[in-house]
Amino acid sequence: MTVSGVGVQGSTAVKPLTQNGIPIDPNLRILAGATLVNTMGNGAITTTFALYFTRIVHIPASQVGLALSAAAVVALFVQVPIGHLGDVRGPRELLRWLTLATGVVTLGLLFTHNIWALTGVMMLEAFFDRGAGAVRNGVIARIAEGGQGVRFKAYLRAVTNVGISVGGALGGLALTIDKPWAYLSVFAFNSLTCVVNSFAVARLPHLEKAPLRAAGEPRLQVLRDIPFVVMTVLTGIFAMHFVIIEVAMPLWIAHSTQAPKSLVAVTLMINTVMVAIFQVRLSRGADTVTAASKALRTGGLWIGAGFGLVALAAGQSKWVAVALLCGGALVHVVGEMVGSGGQWGVQMGLAPRERQGQYQGFSGMGFSLSNVIAPSLSVALCINGGAIGWAVLAAVIIAAGALSVPVSAWALRTRERYGVLSHTG
C-alpha cells in the first residue's frame, strides 16, 4: 500500500492551500462549498429541532432525548463498516448515494407525529449521515494530500462555523415566526442541502477502490491495528472537551457563578468567531504525525488552563466572574484549535491511504463515544463536583494529550505492518 500523505515526515515543500480565502485546488473548492451548504442545513435544524417536536408535536422532551440517544448508538457503530465499504466499493460513488439518502430520510421529519416515527427517522438519518461522514473523511484524506490534509480540515472547520452560524440565523427566523410551516420549511431546507451536496460530490474525481485483501489480511484491518486503536481512545478522551464546554459551561455559568446567564451566548460567540478566524493558522505545522502529537500535547495544556480559569469564577463578584469566564473561553479555544490540528494530523497520518475510509470511520467512532460519555460525566464532575471536578477533567485532557506523543511514536514504528511506510526523519 502507499504511504498516507499526512504521515510522511520530512516531505517536500507544502503548496499554498488558498488564494483570497478560496481553495486553489478545484476538488477542494467543491468539498468546501458542499460543506458550507451542508452545515447551513445542520445549523438551521439544530436550532429548531427540539422546540418543534416538544412544543408543536407535543412529544415529551425526555422521549425526544431517547430518540436522539438511539440515533447516537447507530452513529457509534455504523462508521467503520460504512467507511470500509467506501474503500472497497469506491468512496466518491458511495458518498454521493449516502448523502442523497440522508436528504430523503430527513424529509420524513415533515410527517413525524409520534415518538416511534421520530426514533425511526433519527436512526435512519444517523445511519446514512454518519456513514457519509466516515466516507467523506476518507475522501478528504485522499484528495487533500501533499501536506494539505490538516490545513484543509482546519479550513473546513472554519467554513463549518460560518455555515452553522448562517443556518442558525435561518433557524432563528423560524423560531420568531413560531408556526408549524416555518419549522417544516427548515426541515425541507436541510433535506435540500443534502441533495445539493450529492450533486457536488458527483463532480469530484473518481477514486480507485482499495486493492484486494492479501491472503490472511483481516477485512477490518483497523480493528487489528492496536497502536491506532489506542491512539483513537486517547483522541476520543481528548475530544471530551468539546462536550464539556457545550454542556457544563452553560450550567456552570447559570448555577455556580454570579455572571449573567446571557454570558453563555458570549462565550459561544468567542468560540465561533475565534475558530472561524484562527483555526487554519493555529493548525499549521501539524502535518506530520510527530508534530501532530506534540500539538495534541500543547492543546491539552491550553485546554486545562482554560478549565482552571472557568473553575475560579465560582464565588467571585459579577465582573470578576465575567472576566474569568471570558478569559477561560479564550484560552480554551486556543487549545481547541491547536489540539484539533493535532488530532487530524495523527488520524490521517497513521492510516493507510487505501484504507482511509475505515480508519477515519474508526476515528469518528471514538469521537462519537466521547459524545455519549462526556455529557453525564461533565455534569457529574463539573456541576456536582465544583472546582475539583473541573480540575479532574483538566488533568484527564492534559494526560490524554501528553500520552499521544509516545503512543504516536509507537504507532509510527509499526506502520509497515499495517500498510503505511514509516518516515521518521
Position 425 pLDDT exceeds 70 = no
Which phi and psi angles does 19 have, rounded to 5°?
-135, 120
* C-beta of residue 307 within 8 angstroms of C-beta of residue 248: no
Do 65 and 131 fall within a single domain? Answer: yes
Banded pLDDT at 87 (limits 50, 70, 90): confident
Return the ∠ at Cα 166 (arms to 306 and 265), rounded to 5°. 35
Statement: the pTM of the whole predicted model exceeds 0.85: no
- Check residues 264 and 389 and name the one with the higher pLDDT: 389
Write down which residue in 152, 169, 201 finishes a domain.
201
Compute the distance between CA of residue 218 and CA of residue 92 in angstroms, rounded to an integer.
24
On the question of pLDDT at 304 being above 90, the answer is yes
- Which is more confident, 179 or 14? 179
* Domain-ending residue, one of 150, 173, 201: 201
Q: How far apart are CA 323 and CA 294, in angstroms?
A: 30
Q: Which domain holds residue 387?
A: 221-417
- From the list 321, 297, 310, 322, the residue with the least C-alpha distance to 397 is 297
Q: How confident is the model at residue 1 (pLDDT cuts 50, 70, 90)?
A: very low
Position 208 in a domain:
no
Same domain, 190 and 232: no
Band (142; pLDDT cuts 50, 70, 90): confident
Q: Which residues pair with 22 in a beta bridge?
A: 19
Check whether residue 241 and residue 103 sit in a common domain.
Answer: no
According to DSSP, residue 144 is labeled: S
Looking at the structure, do residues 47 and 87 belong to the same domain, yes or no?
Answer: yes
267 lies in the same domain as 410: yes
Q: What is the pLDDT of residues 210-221, one digit of tens each?
A: 665 555 566 677
Indicate whether 18 belongs to any domain: no
Q: What pLDDT band is residue 2 in, cutting at 50, 70 and 90? A: very low
* Same domain as 227, residue 195: no
Listed in sequence order, the DSSP H helices in 239-355 are 240-243, 249-256, 263-282, 289-312, 318-349
C-beta of residue 246 within 8 angstroms of C-beta of residue 268: no
What's the CATH code of the domain at 408? Answer: 1.20.1250.20
Is 106 domain-assigned?
yes
Q: Say if residue 328 is in the same domain as residue 179.
A: no
Q: Return the pLDDT at 308.
A: 96
Helix 26-51 / helix 115-143 crossing angle, nearest 10 deg: 160
* Higher pLDDT pick, 4 / 200: 200
Do 76 and 372 touch, CB atoms closer than 8 A? yes
Residue 2 lies in a domain: no
Mean pLDDT of 147-174: 85
Q: What are 13-19's contacts with CB under 8 Å, separation 24+?
A: 14/146, 14/147, 14/148, 14/151, 14/287, 15/146, 15/147, 15/148, 17/148, 17/151, 17/152, 17/155, 17/280, 18/155
8 domain-assigned: no
The reply to whether 258 and 393 lie within a common domain is yes
Phi-psi region of 143 (alpha: psi -120 to 50; beta: other; left: phi over 0): alpha
| Whether residue 172 is found in the same domain as residue 280 | no
Domain assignment present for residue 213? The answer is no
137 occurs within a structural domain: yes
Beta bridge partners of 91: none
In terms of domains, do 259 and 130 share one? Answer: no
Residues 255 and 403 in one domain: yes
Cβ partners under 8 Å of residue 321, min gap 6: 257, 258, 259, 313, 314
pLDDT tens per residue across span 352-397: 877 777 888 888 888 888 877 888 888 888 888 899 999 999 999 9
Q: Is the same domain home to 144 and 252?
A: no
In this predicted structure, the answer to whether residue 8 has a pLDDT above a threshold of 50 is no
In a domain, residue 378? The reply is: yes
Q: How many domains, the chain?
A: 2
